[in-house]
Structure formats: C-alpha cells, structure tokens
Structure 1
Amino acid sequence: MMTQLQNFVESQNLPREDLDTASNNPSPENASTRREPIKHLLIGSPKTVSSTIHYLQVIGYASIGDWSPLLPTTNPGEVMSILVRQILMP
C-alpha cells in the first residue's frame, strides 16, 4: 500500500517554479505568508470513501474531481483516495 501512496503523493507535487514564485515573490499584504501542501487521505470501503468525497463537495471544501481515483489498498474491500491542497501559512 505505501508504494502506491508514495507514488501518488509524489506525483501531485507542484512544479518547483510554482513553489519558488509563491515563496520568493509574496504580495505586500502577505509578505510573511507562504503556501504549503496539505495531503488528505481517505481510507475505507469504496462506498464510505465515495460518500465522504461527495459530502466534502456539498459543504464546499473540495470538488469531486480534486480527489485521486479510488486506489485499492492491500486490505480486501478497502480503497483510498488522496487530495492535495495548497494552504497559506503565516
């Protein structure tokens, strides 16, 4: 399971130049902030993971298309999905 997870998480990183631009050229009002990735991982039955993804869209947190496809884990009947967001950090 960790190999699939690590491969997916590594593939979701922003291009280095995007991170450099965000940290080296902050706007004057945000001179002390920077963007950092936060990774959300859902693990459970396909129904539970899908339901949670849909709920997070309903409450406006993340669109369904922002999540990875459901990926099987090493446990029978269990899947995972990953969401990577960039958040502003002071």
Structure 2
Amino acid sequence: MLSSLAQPIHVYTRPHGQGTVQHLHPESSPCFNLQSRHIGSIETKDTLVRLSFYRSRDCQGAAIHRAIPICPHPNTLMIRARSVRIKQLRPTGLY
C-alpha cells in the first residue's frame, strides 16, 4: 500500500489535460482499471511515483509503458491501456 500522503493522479483521455478525466487515489489500491483505453496525458503532484500501464485488466501480464512524472503539469503519453499500477518510490539522497 502507498502512504496516505500520496496525491491523487489524474488520467486524461486527450493530450495536455483535455478530455475525460479519471481521478486515481493511490491510498485505496496500487492497481486501477481505467474507464477509457485511451490515455492522452497524466497529471500528479507527487513525483516520487512510478506508473506502469498494462493492456489487460487488473494489471496482469507485462507492462506496455512505464512513466515517472517529472513535473506537476500534464505529461503527454498517447497510449492505449486498460489498467495502471502505482508504485511509491523511495527518495534517495547523496551523503
């Protein structure tokens, strides 16, 4: 499970934050079935997450795309997927 401090992730069906949006709350489950197969862009405030997209439901099989958001603005993807797995990354520091 992810920490309760994780921010919601918004998945849009069109690029640049356009189209139908689905809000994913990572504290409830690490795997989500998507409402639409078309993924145009994603938006999250938490840059310490890795998103793995799958062609099948329930995050089964091999991931077709992995993304680590680097900025809080909508990142354009333009892929087709049916589910997404959210993994919290650990911060690393240089000591």
Do Structure 1 and Structure 2 share a fold, with TM-score over 0.5? no
- The structure whose RCO (Cα within 8 Å, separation 6+) is larger is 1
More helix by share: 1
**Could you say which structure has the larger radius of gyration?**
1
Please report the TM-score for the alignment, with normalisation by the length of structure 2. 0.29
